[in-house]
Amino acid sequence: MDKIYLDHNATTPVAPEVLDIVTSVLQNQIGNPSSVHSAGRSARVLVDEAREQVALLIGASPSEIVFTSGGTEANNFALLGVAFGMGKPGGHIITSQVEHPSILNPCRQLENLGFVIDRLKVDERGHIDLQDLEDVLTESTLLVSLQHANSETGVIQDLQKIAEITKKKGVLLHTDAVQSVGKIPLCLQDVAVDMLSLSAHKLNGVKGVGALYLRNGSPDLFSPQCGGGQEKKRRGGTENVAGIAGFGKACELAKRRLESQEPSRLASLRDDFYQLISSQISGVEIFGDLENRLPNTLNVGFSGVEGDTLLIALDMAGVAVSTGSACSSGSGLPSPVLTAMGIPHDKINASIRFSLGCSNTIEEIEQAAKVLASMILLNRSQATSRGTIKN
């Protein structure tokens, strides 16, 4: 059987339609969008068409989209842009303990520069407490930055309610929606978010492209990346025309998928997968809220099994997944997200994230579950015979 890719929250395969447009632009469009000649104007048209497609997916207007090099840059832009554009050391920013490193690390840098950062805790299901937000929020808070959906657990925060709270206080709200956009519907006409980060490669576009949505009428931000006057002086640098055109196409495809049965198909594939493994093996525990969760994500622990050992064995069997272990996190610490949810380290080191995408089929899910269950049974029987596991 071909390889089974169950790691779509890390990155997704490029959609064939996206590949077509990206290669065609690379081959045929030599212009710089800032050039006045026809080659330049033609590249400009491509960028502007993509801007419309991205805006359409999230209910924004094209003038509110600033293209970046990805989700990381969009997150940095939002945080540093507000901190340096509107604030000064001593300024107050609220975020959470379960954000992506591209939020947590700029926050740490701002803290080192004298900004005051509050990091909201989450409960055992991965949700922030809205009361905590109200308690720390003041009218002079510069910015609230809270993710829409978590990449490790798929847990979705109540953005609507968060936005009601920040709006009432007149405080800017940014959300890292890299994981949610294209997977669940979101219309910015209905949700009072001021800034939102997107990344193309999480929705079948290419790596190295993303965008920051900046609501019209928002205050001027500091631009961490300045150069030529691109993106209305908000983000300098010659645009990644091919990547941006592909991003636009990817958003168009994502919109179509959202309007189809795809989200419910993914959720039922994911739930079938869980049923298949939990009916064959004991000691399986799901991490994160089951109700408010991305349709494609399943984070589970298998008691007595090392996640990393399993990851490597699965990889050799052709199944790609992620773990929350200390080794995988790169920092030497077990997943801060699962840690913030109060999950003990031994359970985190036994956790695996499965994240599905539109190309996954029921046959793949059945095969992956079969391989996984037999590996865990084998691993446990070996561990028991070596006497390394009690009970």
Ligand X SMILES: *Cc1c(COP(=O)(O)O)cnc(C)c1O
Cβ 179 to ligand X shortest distance, Å: 5
Q: In 3-state terms, what secondary structure has residue 221?
A: coil
70 binds ligand X, rule: CB under 6 A: yes
* Nearer of residues 156 and 172 to ligand X, judged by Cβ: 156
C-alpha 76/C-alpha 73 separation (Å) is 5
The mark string for 306-325 relative to ligand X (x by CB under 6 A, - otherwise) is: --------------------
Among 166, 175, 199, 325, binds ligand X (CB under 6 A): 199
3-class secondary structure for 327-386?
HHHCCCCCCHHHHHCCCCHHHHCCEEEEECCCCCCHHHHHHHHHHHHHHHHHHHHHHHHH
* Nearer of residues 207 and 370 to ligand X, judged by Cβ: 207
User: Which residues does residue 195 pair with via DSSP β-bridges, in sequence order?
Assistant: 174, 214
Sign of torsion, CA 217 242 201 19? positive
Among 179, 223, 323, 325, binds ligand X (CB under 6 A): 179
CA 38 vs CA 21, 248, 368: distances in Å: 19, 21, 51
Determine the interface stretch with ligand X among 13-21, 175-183, 215-223, 292-300 (rule: CB under 6 A): 175-183
- Which residues have CB under 8 Å from 132's CB, separation 6+? 120, 121
Q: Phi, psi (5° rounding) for residue 375?
A: -65, -40
Q: Within a 10 A sphere around the Cβ of 101, how many other Cβ atoms?
A: 14
The mark string for 141-170 relative to ligand X (x by CB under 6 A, - otherwise) is: ------x---x-------------------
Rg of the chain over CA atoms, in angstroms? Answer: 22
240 binds ligand X, rule: CB under 6 A: no
Q: In 3-state terms, what secondary structure has residue 220?
A: coil
Number of residues that bind ligand X (CB under 6 A): 15
* Nearer of residues 44 and 249 to ligand X, judged by Cβ: 249
Q: Within a 10 A sphere around the Cβ of 283, how many other Cβ atoms?
A: 13
100 binds ligand X, rule: CB under 6 A: yes
Among the listed residues 187, 226, 327, 358, the single catalytic one is 327
The stretches of the chain forming alpha helices (DSSP H) are 16-28, 38-58, 71-86, 101-112, 130-136, 159-169, 241-258, 262-280, 307-316, 326-329, 336-340, 345-348, 362-386
* Nearer of residues 104 and 116 to ligand X, judged by Cβ: 104
The reply to whether 327 belongs to the active site is yes
Determine the interface stretch with ligand X among 71-79, 268-276, 300-308, 360-368 (rule: CB under 6 A): 71-79
Cβ 206 to ligand X shortest distance, Å: 10
Among 53, 72, 96, 296, binds ligand X (CB under 6 A): 72
102 binds ligand X, rule: CB under 6 A: yes
* Nearer of residues 210 and 307 to ligand X, judged by Cβ: 210
- Closest-CB residue for ligand X? 71
* Nearer of residues 296 and 379 to ligand X, judged by Cβ: 296
Among 31, 210, 263, 307, binds ligand X (CB under 6 A): 210
Instruction: Copy the structure tokens of residue 222.
Output: 């500091």
CA 98 vs CA 17, 118, 343, 386: distances in Å: 34, 12, 13, 37
Amino acid identity of residue 366, one-letter, is E
DSSP track, 242-265: HHHHHHHHHHHHHHHHHTTTHHHH
Determine the interface stretch with ligand X among 199-207, 288-296, 313-321, 333-341 (rule: CB under 6 A): 199-207
Is there a contact between 130 and 157 (Cβ–Cβ < 8 Å)?
no
71 binds ligand X, rule: CB under 6 A: yes
Among 7, 64, 176, 306, binds ligand X (CB under 6 A): 176
C-alpha 288/C-alpha 267 separation (Å) is 15
* Nearer of residues 68 and 360 to ligand X, judged by Cβ: 68
The mark string for 3-22 relative to ligand X (x by CB under 6 A, - otherwise) is: --------------------
353 binds ligand X, rule: CB under 6 A: no
Q: Which residues are catalytic?
A: 327
Q: Which residues of this protein are in contact with ligand X, per CB under 6 A?
A: 70-72, 75, 100, 102, 147, 151, 176, 178-179, 199, 201-202, 210
